[in-house]
Amino acid sequence: MNIRELVLDTLLVLEREGDYSHRLMKSVLDKYDYLEPRDKAFIKRLTEGTLERQLELDYYLDHYSSLPVRKMKPLIRCLLRMGVYQLLYMDSVPDSAVCNEACKLAGKRGFGNLKGFVNGVLRRISAGKEALPLPEENEPVRYLSIRYSMPEWLVEMWLDEYGRDVTETLLKGLMEIQPVSLRFSTLLSDSERTVLCRELRERGMEVAESPYLPYLYRTGGYGESLHWLPAFSGGKCTVQDVSSALAVEAAGVKEGDFVIDVCAAPGGKSILAAEKIGSGRVLARDISEDKTGITWENISRMGLGNIEVQIFDGTCTDTACLEKADVVFLDVPCSGLGVLGKKRDIKYRVAAEKLDELEELQRRIVTASAGYVKMGGTLLYSTCTIRREENEDMVRYITGELGFTPVSLDGCLPESVLAAGREIAVKLQEAGKDPKAGFTKEERSACIQLLPGYMEADGFFIARFRRDR
């Protein structure tokens, strides 16, 4: 098995068929699960890295190639992109090997006449990689777009919302390699969790405790599949990012609560809430059989009997649930700009002109579902994005149009998270930027935007409200 050819074919499928990279990556690694962990790690890093830095790689290729990237044959374009990524970001691979392997693949795939072209471009970049060209820094949109391989319209949006310093820190954070977060069941004792961590490390897994929550760990060193982990298959842990777990902490669920999770898939918040409420009950809903199937699979593996899973369209109102829930989770569909470090091709797929439709969908779901909260109950709104219209503007809508009372997150979230939020707020004020402009003191304390680069978490927005009328 030629692992570079496997990467090349994966990139070609993504370019030709438009599948989502995280889904395709999982299917490829599952199919070739017999490969050595080192080879699977190489495939994963080269594929994802080439995708993530595509704008930057194309910029260098256009500079050093006589033929623009857009006019290249798809196979040659993908082959050169993955070659440049190896030259610049994979120090363990000798430059000569990168060039030689690329030429071999070009010849093997019927482009022997272009081996000289491929070799020449890669060797020129190799020779000049200590001083590669970039746009001038006094052109911040263009410079940051190429430096961090982010579409210009997104850079411009964040510069407008956050200013130069915060935006650049955010972009750096999104480029960092994101380890998988493993959440242990909160029903385990501290000693049981310690034993499991030791067993995972003995199996060669890297396990480091999250700085925010004691039951959550950042992991690595095992490839993509978790099925071989007895702790995972046995329902003692699950995959859940710290931001999702923090949303449950922010809601303050307690023993005996009835919780409705309106857009539940893949079920992380529902499962954590179910562990916390004991004799209470969780109703986990989503719009399709595929989504609820994933949710049910995770719930079944974790062995929880106090969750009911249903197919239900969140834009519709279930009158039987009105004023029944102690807590309603509204983690609505969003642009996903906070998880670009894990789903690397989202930034190339999101279209600015389509975002208005997304905002309308979010408001429809919130409006249809807010009535499930009983008097004195909690509505917890969240997204995995970094965009004012989907986050802070929704706070204004929930308090102003729906009449909910904002509730401070102080005491609900770890102090380290709140402190990072305050640090960001100070930097925004210094830059003359404030996505929370016009908020009351209560509204400001009721929500937080988690930002990569400042926090060890996805870009995630959390806001808590109480129903008082």
> Who has greater pLDDT, 20 or 467?
467
> Who has greater pLDDT, 349 or 243?
243
Task: Using pLDDT thresholds of 50, 70 and 90, give the confidence band for residue 225.
Answer: low
Q: What is the pLDDT of residue 22?
A: 73
Tokens of 4: 């570079």
> Angle CA(294)–CA(296)–CA(301) in degrees, nearest 5?
100
Distance of CA 265 to the CA centre of its chain: 14
Q: What is the pLDDT of residue 182?
A: 93
Q: By mean pLDDT, which of 44-48, 357-361, 440-444, 464-468 is the weakest?
A: 44-48
Mean pLDDT of the chain: 93
Task: Using pLDDT thresholds of 50, 70 and 90, give the confidence band for residue 222.
Answer: low
Bridge partner residues of 311 (DSSP): 286
CB 356 within 8 A of CB 302: no
Model confidence at 200: pLDDT above 60: yes
Q: By mean pLDDT, which of 25-29, 38-42, 247-251, 386-390 is the weakest?
A: 25-29
- Match 């329902």 to its residue by tokens: 235
Tokens of 173: 């954070």
Write the pLDDT tens digit of every residue in 327-382: 999 999 999 999 988 887 889 888 888 899 999 999 999 999 999 999 999 999 99
| Arithmetic mean of pLDDT, 304-327 | 98
Q: By mean pLDDT, which of 8-22, 124-138, 351-365 is the weakest?
A: 8-22
CA-CA distance, 44 to 26, in Å (whole number)? 9
CA-CA distance, 460 to 457, in Å (whole number)? 8
> Angle CA(263)–CA(175)–CA(227) in degrees, nearest 5?
55
Q: What is the pLDDT of residue 47?
A: 92
CA-CA distance, 268 to 364, in Å (whole number)? 23
- Match 């579902």 to its residue by tokens: 369
Q: What is the pLDDT of residue 24?
A: 79
Task: Using pLDDT thresholds of 50, 70 and 90, give the confidence band for residue 98.
Answer: very high
Q: What are phi and psi of 284, to 5 degrees?
A: -105, 120
Tokens of 44: 């994963």
CB 268 within 8 A of CB 276: no
Write the pLDDT tens digit of every residue in 413-430: 999 999 999 999 999 989
CA atoms within 13 A on the CB side of 372: 27
Cis peptide before 266 (omega within 30 of 0): yes
| Arithmetic mean of pLDDT, 144-153 | 96
Model confidence at 25: pLDDT above 90: no
Q: What is the pLDDT of residue 442?
A: 97
CA-CA distance, 160 to 435, in Å (whole number)? 10
Task: Using pLDDT thresholds of 50, 70 and 90, give the confidence band for residue 29.
Answer: confident
Tokens of 80: 């050169």
Model confidence at 27: pLDDT above 90: no
73, amino acid identity: K
CA atoms within 13 A on the CB side of 379: 28
User: What are the residues whose beta carbons fall under 8 Å from the beta carbon of 79, sequence distance 6 or more?
Assistant: 8, 102, 105, 106, 118
**3-state SS string over the chain?**
CCHHHHHHHHHHHHHHHCCCHHHHHHHHHHHCCCCCHHHHHHHHHHHHHHHHCHHHHHHHHHHHCCCCHHHCCHHHHHHHHHHHHHHHHCCCCCHHHHHHHHHHHHHHCCCHHHHHHHHHHHHHHHHHHHHCCCCCCCCHHHHHHHHCCCCHHHHHHHHHHHHHHHHHHHHHHHHCCCCEEEEECCCCCHHHHHHHHHHHHHCCCEEEECCCCCCEEEEECCCCCCCCCHHHHCCCEEECCHHHHHHHHHHCCCCCCEEEECCCCCCHHHHHHHHHHCCCEEEEEECCHHHHHHHHHHHHHHCCCCEEEEECCCCCCCHHHCCCEEEEEEECCCCCHHHCCCCCCHHHHCCHHHHHHHHHHHHHHHHHHHHHEEEEEEEEEEECCCCHHHCHHHHHHHHHCCCCEECCCCCCCCHHHHHHHHHHHHHHHHCCCCCCCCCCHHHHHCEEEECECCECCCCEEEEEEECCC
Tokens of 11: 């990139």
Write the pLDDT tens digit of every residue in 282-310: 999 999 999 999 999 999 999 999 999 99
Model confidence at 19: pLDDT above 70: no
Task: Classify residue 140 by burial, with Cβ atoms within 10 Å: 0-12, 13-18, 19+.
Answer: middle
